[in-house]
């Protein structure tokens, strides 16, 4: 493969700061998540200020500061109104949990902290009612469940079932492996401690994208890189962690042995031309833009921001997929902690 040029330097001249700030200001219309708009204007204002007396940098810096304050105010007002609506709907525990989360995102706005505490009390009350109901049902069904478990685990039943169905009785582990072997694109399968979306199965290996990253504490709020600087997939801290701590913390040695090291082709940004850096060899990686475009049905099931492995509009930004399943080419700052991580692995299939 031909050598790729090194990443351009961080802007140093007033003109470079001005151009980057103007580009950030211009993408505001593409940002759908309100909390990001204020951050984007704030970053643009800081860059305009670094441009000093170049063109109308001072005026645009002041304008961006104003727009940042306006975006922050609008975001808080909208979030507050939605949280109040959910809290007042007297709906499910899901509505109350959602409202509590929204209030806690802006704890110092109006009475958000007090409302979040009220949501917590209501949730405790609903959980206690549900727990009492579960205890009654459990007590009533306990004897029947125990009897059924004992019976269905006897050799008599297992042999009878096998004769009736004409098939071998599989253990849970054998069932998981059988599902992995026969998986098709779009299926959900289990491997290790997680469930996965199947991206491809060629009969020898199966390529998987993690399902429910939002339920994993170490995959929430993890930046693409620890500091705001020019990086590529090859040099980012997220790649180092995925192929290190994530791999060893979650998978047994036998499972790790089945996760194949594959070449990761780092695509350049298709809109802005930002170079992706050198290709790498990884056991765990992120989804590429071309892979994401090839699986819209799978992306439709993921309702959160998560990183892609390619750069954004500049070397200190990385692409991501929005909650509306849109590939955001302009990306976001690599040190942002508002994104999720959805790992991709390739698992070797066992021989029949």
pLDDT tens profile 79-97: 899 889 988 877 678 888 8
User: pTM for the full model?
Assistant: 0.56
Radius of gyration of the chain (CA): 25
Q: Among the residues of the chain, which ranges form H helices?
A: 14-26, 34-50, 57-88, 93-105, 112-152, 155-165, 172-182, 237-241, 247-250, 253-258, 289-294, 296-299
CB of 317 closer than 8 Å to CB of 43:
no
Per-position DSSP letters for 295-335, written without gaps between them: -HHHHTT--S-EEEEEE-SSTTEEEEE-TTS-EEEEEEETT
Q: d(Cα 162, Cα 179) in Å, to the nearest integer?
A: 19
Tell whether the model's pLDDT for residue 155 goes beyond 70.
no
Q: What is the DSSP code (8-state) at residue 223?
A: -
CB of 266 closer than 8 Å to CB of 1:
no
Q: What is the pLDDT of residues 259-308, one digit of tens each?
A: 999 999 998 999 999 999 999 999 999 999 999 999 999 998 888 899 99
CB of 279 closer than 8 Å to CB of 310:
no
Q: What is the pLDDT of residues 231-253, one digit of tens each?
A: 999 999 999 999 999 999 999 99
Q: How many helices (H) and strands (E) does the chain have?
A: 12, 9
Tokens 């500091």 appear where?
A: 227
Q: Is 336 left (phi over 0), alpha (psi -120 to 50) or beta?
A: beta
Tokens 């009533």 appear where?
A: 140
Q: What is the DSSP code (8-state) at residue 279?
A: -
């Amino acid at each position: 493969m031909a050598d790729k040029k090194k990443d351009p330097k961080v802007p140093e001249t007033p003109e470079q700061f001005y151009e980057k700030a103007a580009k950030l200001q211009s993408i505001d219309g593409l940002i759908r998540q309100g909390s990001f708009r204020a951050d984007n204007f704030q970053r643009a204002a800081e860059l305009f200020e670094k441009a000093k007396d170049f063109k109308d940098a001072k005026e645009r810096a002041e304008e961006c500061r104003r727009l940042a304050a306006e975006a922050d105010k609008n975001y808080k007002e909208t979030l507050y109104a939605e949280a109040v609506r959910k809290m007042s709907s007297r709906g499910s525990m899901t509505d109350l949990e959602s409202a509590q989360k929204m209030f806690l995102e802006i704890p110092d706005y109006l009475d958000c902290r007090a409302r979040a505490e009220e949501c917590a009390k209501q949730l405790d009350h609903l959980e206690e009612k549900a727990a009492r109901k579960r205890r009654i049902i459990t007590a009533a069904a306990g004897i029947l469940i125990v009897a059924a478990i004992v019976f269905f685990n006897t050799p008599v039943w297992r042999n009878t079932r096998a004769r009736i169905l004409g098939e071998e009785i599989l253990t849970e582990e054998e069932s998981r492996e059988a599902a992995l072997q026969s998986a098709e694109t779009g299926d959900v399968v289990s491997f290790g401690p997680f469930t996965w979306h199947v991206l491809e199965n060629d009969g020898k290996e199966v390529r998987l994208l993690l399902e429910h990253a939002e339920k994993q504490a170490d995959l929430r709020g993890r930046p693409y890189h620890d500091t705001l600087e020019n990086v590529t997939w090859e040099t980012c801290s997220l790649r180092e962690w995925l192929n290190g701590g994530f791999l060893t913390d979650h998978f047994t040695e036998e499972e790790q042995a089945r996760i194949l090291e594959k070449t990761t082709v780092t695509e350049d940004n298709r809109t802005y031309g930002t170079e992706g850096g050198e290709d790498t060899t990884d056991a765990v990686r992120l989804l590429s833009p071309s892979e994401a475009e090839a699986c819209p049905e799978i992306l439709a099931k993921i309702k959160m921001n998560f990183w892609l492995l390619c750069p954004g509009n500049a070397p200190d930004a990385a692409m991501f997929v929005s909650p509306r399943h849109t590939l955001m080419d302009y990306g976001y700052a690599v040190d942002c902690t508002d994104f999720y991580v959805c790992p991709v692995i390739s698992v070797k299939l066992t021989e029949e």
